[in-house]
Amino acid sequence: MGAWGTGLFDDDITCDVRDSFIDYLDEGNTVEEATQYILEEYLDEFNPEEDLEVMSLVYIGLSAIQMKKKCLQEQVRKTAIDLIEHGADLELWEEADTKDYEKRKEVLGEFKEKLINF
């Protein structure tokens, strides 16, 4: 799992979630089905309680692509907001330099506001 920037889609997980979601929709699945398939994939591999930072990235990616596609599900929106508020994603950035940490924190804060106001 790698990151190359502080943007929402600047890491492997959020890019994979975005791409999978689009692929599932292109295959004719509903938004609900596409979301379920993605969550099942990650829940099979990661424990939501122990791997909160990974699940945070999953929900950030899922909520961002759903928002872009104008099909944001309420539970996805709420979970993404909760995970951002919990700071789960920022745990991954604690080892980065202060500038990157603060930039990521800013990006997440702005995204959280968009989710709240969506």
35 belongs to a structural domain: yes
pLDDT digit string (tens) for 69-89? 999 999 999 999 999 999 988
Over residues 85-108, the pLDDT tens digits come to 999 888 778 878 889 999 999 999
Indicate the helix (H) or strand (E) that contains 96. Answer: none
Domain containing residue 106: 12-117
Please give the residue that has the higher pLDDT: either 3 or 17.
17
Residue 1 lies in a domain: no
> How many structural domains comprise the chain?
1
Residue 1: what pLDDT?
53
Does 109 fall in a domain? yes
CB-CB contact of 76 with 66 (8 Å): yes
Token pair belonging to 3: 């990151």
pLDDT of residue 30: 98
Q: Is 4 inside a domain boundary? A: no
Please indicate, yes or no, if residue 75 is contained in any of the structural domains.
yes
pTM for the model stands at 0.92
pLDDT band at 19 (very low <50, low <70, confident <90, very high): very high
B/e letters for 89-115, b = 16+ CB within 10 Å, e = fewer, are bbebbeeeeeeebebbbebbeebbeeb
